[in-house]
C-alpha cells in the first residue's frame, strides 16, 4: 500500500500515463480510500487544464506581418532570399 | 543551382496539388519543408511560418512574459532557422529543433532580468507526517459548475504563478502542458535527460497547484465538498 507522500510523488507520471500498470493500480487503490489524495489529484489535474488555458495567447496579426517584413529584409541583405 | 530549382519545383508542385485536391491548408511534411527551405522556396517560407509562428510566439511569450521580448525572440528564431536550415541534420524532428532554438532564445532573453530570489517551495509544496500522510486537509477547489468566476480568477493567479517560476521550470511546463510535446521531445528541446525533465516538470506543476490552492483558500470559498458561494 502506498502512502500519500508516494502518491504525490507519482502523480505526474500517473496523469501522463507513464506509470507502470502495477504501480498505477496501487495508486488507484490508495485513491479509493483517501479523500485527501482524491482532492489532491482533482486539483492537480485542474491546474494542468488551467495552465493550458492561461498560456494560450494568440499571435497578433500585425506581429505576423512585422515578422515577415523583418525576415524578408534580413534575408534580402544576405545571399539568398525567400521573397517572391 | 539545378538542384535548388528542382527542389523548389517539387515543393511547389506537391504543395499546390495538396491544397487543390484536398482544399485544406494541410502543411507539407517536414522533409519536404526542409527541402523547400534549403532551395529558398517562397512557399516553404510561408509554410514554415504558418506551421510554427503561433506556437513559437506562444512559447516565447510564456517564457519571457513580455510581448515585445516575445516578438524579438520570434524574429531571432525564424531568422536562425532560415539561415541554418542547411545544418539541420534530421536527428530530431524539425519541430523539436525549432522548439529548442526558441526555448534557448527565450531563456537568453530573460537571463539577467530574472530575480535571484529563491522560490518559497516549502509554502506551496504539500506537507506530510512521518508516516507519509497529508498533514493538513486538502480542499478540493477543482472545477465546479457554479464557480465560473473563481475559474477566471484562478487563470489569472496561474499566470502570476507561472511568472514566479524560474524560467527553466516555466519552459518545461510550457513545452509539456501547453505545447503538448512528448516527454522525450521536450527533454531533447531543453537539452535535459528524461528523468531531469520529469523531476522539473513535477516540481513546477506542484508549485502552480500550490499557488492556486493558496488563493482558493484565502478567498474563503471552500467547503469540504468544493467551493461554496
Specify the pLDDT at position A32: 95
B202 contacts on A by Cβ (under 8 Å): 9, 11-12
- Position B227 pLDDT exceeds 80: no
Residue B180 has pLDDT above 80, yes or no: yes
Architecture of domain A4-80: Orthogonal Bundle (1.10)
| pLDDT (0 to 100) of residue B70 | 96
Q: Which sequence spans correspond to the domains of chain B?
A: 2-111, 121-219
> Can you give the pLDDT at residue B220?
65
Q: Is A56 helix (H, G, I), strand (E, B) or coil?
A: coil
Predicted model pTM? 0.83
C-alpha cell at B14: 506537391
- Identify the pLDDT of residue B145: 54
User: pLDDT, tens digit, for every residue of B129-177?
Assistant: 999 999 988 988 886 655 666 778 888 899 899 999 999 999 999 999 9
Query: B79 and A70: CB-CB below 8 Å?
Result: yes
Question: Would you state the pLDDT for residue B14?
Answer: 44
User: Of A4, A52, A64, which has the smallest distance from its Cβ to B53's Cβ?
Assistant: A64
The reply to whether domains B2-111 and B121-219 share a CATH topology is: no
Which residues on A lie below 8 Å from B134 (Cβ)?
4, 36-37, 40
**C-alpha grid cell, residue B46:** 510561408
Q: Closest Cα partner for B154 from B212, B91, B98?
A: B212
Q: What's the confidence (pLDDT) of residue B129?
A: 93
Top-tier CATH class for B2-111: mainly alpha
Instruction: Return the C-alpha cell found at B143.
Output: 472545477
- Provide the grid cell at B181: 510535446
Residues of chain A with C-beta less than 8 angstroms from the C-beta of B158 = 47, 50-51, 54
Q: Looking at residue B147, what is its pLDDT?
A: 64
Q: What is the pLDDT of residue B18?
A: 44
Q: Assess contact for B73 and B105: CB atoms under 8 A.
A: yes
Mark yes or no for CB contact B49/A5 under 8 Å. Answer: no
Confidence of residue B229 (pLDDT cuts 50, 70, 90): very low
pLDDT at B25: 58
Q: Which of residues B94 and B5 earns the better pLDDT score?
A: B94
CB B80 within 8 A of CB A80: no
Instruction: Kindly report the CATH number that applies to the domain delimited by B121-219.
Output: 1.10.10.10
Mean pLDDT taken over chain B? 83
Percent of chain A with pLDDT over 90: 71
pLDDT at B59: 95
Alpha-carbon gap: A68 to the closest alpha carbon of chain B (Å) = 9
Mean pLDDT of A73-83: 66
Amino acid at each position: 500500500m502506498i502512502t500519500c507522500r508516494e502518491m504525490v510523488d507519482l502523480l505526474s507520471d500517473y496523469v501522463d500515463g507513464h506509470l507502470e500498470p502495477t504501480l498505477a493500480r496501487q495508486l488507484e487503490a490508495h485513491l479509493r480510500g483517501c479523500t485527501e489524495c482524491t482532492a489532491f489529484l482533482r486539483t492537480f489535474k485542474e491546474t494542468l487544464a488551467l495552465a493550458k488555458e492561461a498560456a494560450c495567447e494568440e499571435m497578433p496579426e500585425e506581429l505576423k506581418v512585422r515578422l515577415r517584413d523583418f525576415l524578408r529584409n534580413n534575408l534580402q541583405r544576405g545571399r539568398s532570399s525567400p521573397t517572391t | 543551382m539545378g538542384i535548388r530549382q528542382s527542389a523548389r519545383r517539387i515543393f511547389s508542385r506537391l504543395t499546390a496539388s495538396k491544397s487543390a485536391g484536398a482544399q485544406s491548408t494541410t502543411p507539407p511534411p517536414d522533409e519536404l519543408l526542409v527541402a523547400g527551405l534549403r532551395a529558398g522556396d517562397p512557399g516553404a517560407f510561408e509554410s514554415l511560418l504558418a506551421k510554427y509562428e503561433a506556437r513559437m510566439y506562444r512559447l516565447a511569450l510564456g517564457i519571457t512574459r513580455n510581448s515585445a521580448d516575445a516578438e524579438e525572440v520570434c524574429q531571432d528564431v525564424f531568422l536562425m532557422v532560415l539561415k541554418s536550415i542547411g545544418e539541420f541534420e534530421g536527428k530530431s524532428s524539425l519541430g523539436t529543433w525549432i522548439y529548442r532554438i526558441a526555448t534557448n532564445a527565450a531563456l537568453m532573453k530573460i537571463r539577467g532580468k530574472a530575480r535571484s530570489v529563491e522560490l518559497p517551495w516549502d509554502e506551496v509544496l504539500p506537507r506530510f507526517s512521518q508516516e507519509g500522510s497529508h498533514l493538513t486537509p486538502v480542499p478540493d477547489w477543482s472545477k465546479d459548475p457554479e464557480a465560473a468566476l473563481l475559474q477566471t480568477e484562478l487563470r489569472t493567479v496561474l499566470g502570476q504563478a507561472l511568472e514566479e517560476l524560474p524560467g527553466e521550470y516555466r519552459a518545461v511546463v510550457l513545452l509539456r502542458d501547453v505545447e503538448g510535446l512528448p516527454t522525450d521531445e521536450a527533454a531533447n528541446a531543453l537539452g535535459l535527460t528524461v528523468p531531469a525533465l520529469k523531476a522539473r516538470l513535477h516540481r513546477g506543476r506542484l508549485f502552480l497547484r500550490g499557488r492556486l490552492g493558496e488563493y482558493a483558500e484565502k478567498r474563503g470559498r471552500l467547503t469540504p465538498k468544493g467551493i461554496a458561494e
